[in-house]
Structure 1
């Protein structure tokens, strides 16, 4: 009697910041596509409640608790995923914070350090455990979630804009390092997405889109292994036009624009 062939496991996606917003929408999109999920955030109870509501059992969804700002914490979770679920096909470094800052305020320098710890060092630490096994396999995608705010600095957004510009530069560097390995590096730049992170903004948000709509377009870009994409494309056009403006005109245009809330001035998600 011939041996029964071993079943090939469903592909696996590893997503940080998966307890709400873009991360949760991406998790739902990948679940619909038949992927197994490795979901990471500090709020593990929220993630588990979501997974239970979606009918996602442990055979297809595992929850990991980690603080992305703590390198040892997020690296340990990456190794735990490798041990329990195998090498992911897609790793999405989505965890991030956006808090207003004023360089004249001493506490805001610590805000900037925390922002970079999560948005940049944490992103690299998220990728770290997977680079070697993905390269050995010769396939996979590492996805960095940047922002259209990376394209031009906005008053009061110094920490966020700088950190997201650094995501773009870092992913570009990593893409060159992994060229020819079979591992793709995808950089996504969301415009304004309706999430808990943006709902407290006190300024207009053109081309605002739902997290679900963003997740659909992001999924397509990642599947296509697109190296760089602004979502939605209209926001990319606006950002590029702003990039072309001479500095005096750009500065005048943004003069008096409401700024993002600083830490302590209003609750920050």
Structure 2
């Protein structure tokens, strides 16, 4: 039987591109999102056989919702070989604004708790089987905080730290934890950004490089590699120089914008 990949946030952007690449790579698909009709239309447009894909409606902001979707996948299609916690949001915040504290809470609920809830239904079964890939989608925004990006940067730094912790917990079990940190990828999530996006990459190109990193069980990868170099330089830059470098940089749009 063909291997199975479970992907959240599969209705658009990176998630959809990953679904296409894994299907091309010979995987059956278990695709999850709130907007199931969009996934179904995408699969139909690609003439993907009904036996090759199943769609699960779930909201990663609700723990029980995504856990139920994972259990349904196991019941219907079996334990996945790869689970990709891709679903996430990116919204600017201003800590002076009381309403933006709610945006922060929502971002952490989706990008962090939702990621752990995505993995939860599969960890024990993968450990018992002795194989599997759990993939967390981080971001180069995890490396250093950017003005106006507090919620997103904090959540993606949390993704990196969480996946590193989980990797240690599963060491020796045969289950690999893969952390992928995209740079700027051309998706609906980034198209409204009001600042320069160096090394902007097509979602399809990201998905191809991600596919190979996941297949190899790579523990951590920044894609594209050029952003990995930039990220390392940013990390070692003294605070005073870094603060000066990002002063006046365009901020991410807040919800009401």
TM-score normalised over the length of structure 2 = 0.99
Alignment correspondent of 1:123: 115
Give the counterpart of 2:247 among 242, 255, 265: 255
Q: Is 1:103 aligned with 2:95?
A: yes
Structure 1: where are the runs of 5+ without partners?
A: 1-8
- Root-mean-square deviation (CA, aligned residues, Å) is 0.5
Structure 1 residue 18 and structure 2 residue 13: aligned? no
Deviation at 1:58, TM superposition (A): 2.1
Structure with the greater alpha carbon radius of gyration: 1
Large movers: runs of 4+ above 2 Å: none
Q: Which residue of 2 aligns with 1:56?
A: 48
Aligned counterpart, 1:140: 132
Of 87, 94, 99, which residue of structure 1 is paired with 2:86?
94
CA shift, 1:183, in A, is: 0.2
1:181-212 CA-to-partner distances (Å, cap 9, x unmatched) read: 00000000000000000000010000000000
Distance in 2, matches of 1:62 and 1:252, equals: 49
Partner of 1:70: 62
TM-score (norm 1): 0.95
> Within 1, Cα distance between the matches of 2:119 and 2:237?
35
Residues 1:207 and 2:208 are matched in the alignment: no
Per-residue CA shift, 1:43-82, capped at 9, x if unaligned?
0000000000011132000011000000000000000000
Provide the C-alpha distance between the structure 1 equivalents of 2:105 and 2:238, rounded to a whole number of angstroms: 30
Output one character per residue of 1:13-65: Cα deviation in whole Å (capped at 9) or x when no partner: 00000000000000000000110000000000000000000111320000110
Q: Deviations over 1:163-186 (max 9, x none)?
A: 000000000000000000000000
Cα distance in 1, alignment partners of residues 18 and 156 from structure 2: 19
1:178-193 alignment, distance < 5 Å = 178-193=170-185
SS at 1:230 equivalent: strand
